[in-house]
Amino acid sequence: MTDKKEWPLWEVFIRSQHGLAHRHVGSLHAPDAEMAIMNARDVYTRRNEGVSIWVVRASDIAASSPSEKGPLFDPANSKVYRHPTFYEIPEELGHM
Amino acid sequence: MSGQEALFEYLLRLGDNTLILGHRLSEWCGHSPALEEDLALSNVALDLIGQTQLWLNLAGEIEGKGRDADKLAYLRDGRDFRNVLLVEQPNGDFAATMARQFYFDAWHYLLLRELTGSKEARIAEIAAKGLKEVTYHLERSQEWVLRLGDGTEESHRRMQTAIDDLWMYTGEMFESDAVDEAMVRDGIGPDPSSLHEPWLGLMRSTAEEATLTLPQPGWAQRGGKRGIHSEHLGYILADLQFLQRAYPNATW
Amino acid sequence: MYAQMVKTGVDHIQSKEEMSPEERAFQDRVDQDIKIEPKEWMPEAYRKTLIRQISQHAHSEIIGMQPEGNWITRAPTLERKAILLAKVQDEAGHGLYLYCAAETLGVSRDELMEQLNSGKAKYSSIFNYPTLTWADIGAIGWLVDGAAIMNQVPLQRCSYGPYSRAMIRICKEESFHQRQGYDAMTKLARGTPEQKQMAQDALNRWWWPSLMMFGPSDAESVHSAQSMRWKIKINSNDELRQKFVDQTVPQAEYLGLTVPDPALKWNAERGHYDFGEVDWNEFYQVVAGNGPCNRDRLRTRVKAYEEGRWVRDAADAYAAKKAARAKAKAA
């Protein structure tokens, strides 16, 4: 019934802390706005608490020029094993 | 059964539920319907594994025999596992996984919400952390039940089959035994039957919106809480425990 | 690396005099390190090469989930299980970021998936080797991710904006991948004799395929020269391979493990390790589809995609119904 049609592309904007405006972090596919928001949370915040997420259908964006540089995003704080410093690497080995 | 023994049993139930369901969900990683869903299901699995560590470590502490979460997870045999039968059911298709998840999440949510008021402070603390995560799990599995129920003819048929097939594993979550009674007596946990009505309410409203027919109350499969499991659990443990069993006393 | 031997469709490097005015303006921007953004004018060959390269990279992330995913349910502790699951999940995320970057060049994810599923698209040769023991999970993190990082760090500066941004995000998230692998190997190398044996065996099996990841020497390749000119390839394959060997050998020594290469020797004069010749025949065989796991990897991917179709369709149908209902309500 939905022959070869893929889920639409959404652009994701996230406000990570109070006082900072929403910023573009990337895109994803989702069937509708609710799922897009949930997917954005799973894909782009690995579920940091207290974030605000906007999603906009990519096709609804009117653009004057190529987009600005996107921000980086920290993985969730409670998943310490995502951070390289969680692993002890002997000093004599230098950088890894 | 002493209060401590009952508490130990109770914590095993909490930790084994999250352990086994987390294990099942982790089987999806790389095989789900979309990349976005691989990420989402893995997040739920990671939350459940994290909760397992907290519950089983506390269980080991209460037991006082030097067993930690890993020892409890990796070195008990099936008869000593206390998870409900629902969570060990195979993933099946995506509808079966979501039906299992929705049934469990709704119950898990209601249970943790009660446990945040537990007299046992350590339980209240773990429940509070878990509740935040599970609130989201429930939102997600509910959204999928709606989409699959009210999606295409095929998805509707699959979702209806899934909720029918798994229904008989839900009754066990609301049944009470000596352990539950001890928890109620000591102000540690709720009477499981008190969660049934709110759970059913959510099931009914969601099924209606999803154009699904909720099965009639009927015979409930039971036994998981006492260590009488389905045949599936043995294979889960064969996978889960392989390295610890094949290389005893090694550290990883 | 995750993208090996990417063709550019050119047969020689154009001089600025040969270029059209647009081409010259484009090359000038690249030379000045000004990022190229979607919808800006770019040579067709640049666009096509980027799609090939980025999608190969994305496919590698997605196929790469399988060998490691193979051990998620068997990880030996709850913590190792969580770490491994988080890592494989990251790979799904990285594939996703990269597909999105490729989509800015006018191709859909479905088209790219179709190319992968039909066997038309390539992915890194390394993921066609099997993970036989738990130590392979450590070895992949340490060696395979270590090799990948060599290539990905410089690509953060590549000329195409969305690709560069995806690489920045990926590098930031990936920094834990290699370390967790080395950490797992350390535990094994310091463990029981059986564990140490397991670690050595994994190194024996993953060492040469890891060196193959950089691809054959491309000193003479016009495609590599063109890609470097476009700044979508930063270092030569041999350069990166040497860097990888120089970095990894001391790490192996620290673990008390032996790199399976009798020709390996420190060359004080060059300030680098000399090492033996990679079996390029094996490499070409694996790339051609004859590696130990090629068929399984592809079948598994196709199965997940096909079995997920009814789910994706259902979500679409639901969205359409909901939109129609909202419209009817508003009317």
Domain regions of chain B by residue span = 3-246
First-to-final CA distance of chain C: 55
Total number of residues shown for chain B: 252
ipTM confidence: 0.97
- Answer yes or no: do A81 and C83 touch at CB < 8 A: yes
Nearest Cβ partner for B251 among C95, C191, C315: C191
Nearest Cα of chain C lies from the Cα of B17 at a distance, in angstroms, of 14
**DSSP 8-class letter at C15:** P
Q: Where are the alpha helices (DSSP H) in chain B?
A: 3-26, 35-63, 69-74, 85-88, 94-115, 121-149, 153-167, 178-185, 196-209, 232-246
Nearest Cα of chain B lies from the Cα of C324 at a distance, in angstroms, of 13
Collapsing DSSP states into helix, strand and coil, what is residue B53? helix
pLDDT surpassing 60 at residue C218:
yes
CB-based contact C210:C67 (threshold 8 Å): no
pLDDT in tens, B160-169: 999 999 999 9
Mutate to test the interface with B, among C65, C68, C77, C198 (most CBs of B within 10 A): C77
Tell me whether B176 touches chain C (CB under 8 Å): no
Chains that touch B (3 or more CB pairs under 8 A): A, C
- Establish how many alpha carbons lie within 13 A of residue B96's alpha carbon, considering only the half-sphere containing its beta carbon: 14
Calculate helix-pair angle for C145-155, C161-189, nearest 10 degrees. Answer: 150
- Answer yes or no: do A1 and B152 touch at CB < 8 A: yes
Chains that touch A (3 or more CB pairs under 8 A): B, C
Is the pLDDT higher at C71 or at A21? C71
Q: Which residue of A has its CA nearest to C102?
A: A27
**DSSP 8-class letter at B97:** H
- Chain A positions in Cβ-Cβ contact with residue B132 (cut-off 8 Å): 49
- Answer yes or no: do A35 and B50 touch at CB < 8 A: no
C55-69, C162-176, C273-287: which has the minimum mean pLDDT? C162-176
- Chain A positions in Cβ-Cβ contact with residue C86 (cut-off 8 Å): 79, 81-82
Radius of gyration of chain A measured on its C-alpha atoms:
17
CB-based contact B25:B44 (threshold 8 Å): yes
Mutate to test the interface with B, among A3, A5, A38 (most CBs of B within 10 A): A38
| pTM of the shown model | 0.93
What are the residues whose beta carbons fall under 8 Å from the beta carbon of C323, sequence distance 6 or more? A32
Cα–Cα distance for residue pair C291/C289, rounded to 1 Å: 6
> Closest Cα to residue C151, out of C241, C245, C252, C278?
C241
Q: Which residue of C has its CA nearest to B46?
A: C82
Residue A20 binned pLDDT confidence (cut-offs 50, 70, 90):
confident
| Domain B3-246 coded CATH 3.20.20.70 | no
Nearest Cα of chain C lies from the Cα of B124 at a distance, in angstroms, of 22
pLDDT surpassing 50 at residue C136:
yes
> Closest Cα to residue A75, out of C240, C299, B219, C89?
C89
Chains that touch C (3 or more CB pairs under 8 A): A, B
> What is the rounded average pLDDT of the residues B46-69?
98
Q: Which residue of B has its CA nearest to C180?
A: B252
Nearest Cβ partner for B32 among C72, C80, C308: C308
Residue C49 binned pLDDT confidence (cut-offs 50, 70, 90):
very high
What are the residues whose beta carbons fall under 8 Å from the beta carbon of C239, sequence distance 6 or more? none
Residue A70 binned pLDDT confidence (cut-offs 50, 70, 90):
very low
Collapsing DSSP states into helix, strand and coil, what is residue B96? helix
CB-based contact C225:C13 (threshold 8 Å): yes
- Answer yes or no: do C161 and A66 touch at CB < 8 A: yes
